[in-house]
Amino acid sequence: AATASASLSKLSGKDFDLAYVKMMIEDHTKAVDMFNMATRSSDPEIKAFATKYLPTLKTHLTQVSALSK
């Protein structure tokens, strides 16, 4: 996170926007993957949490992906 923050701080304008959106897509993709795995957890609390919040993460990924177009 510190490295990403440092690299973003050197950018401005459209370069910043593109780098930020790319970073958000990567982060949200990782989060969706982790939550997908967690929905198959044997721990009922983890499974419930992941199942509850996975749709929100997917929506965020869709929205941020639309910004890259």
pLDDT digits (tens, 9 = 90+) for 16-53: 999 999 999 999 999 999 999 999 999 999 999 999 99
Distance, CA of 35 to CA of 30 (rounded, Å): 9
The total of structural domains in the chain comes to 1
pTM, rounded to two decimals: 0.84
- 3-class DSSP state for residue 12? coil
CA-CA distance, 49 to 16, in Å (whole number)? 33
Residue with token string 């992906």: 65
Residue 2 reports pLDDT greater than 80 = no
Range of the domain at 25: 2-67
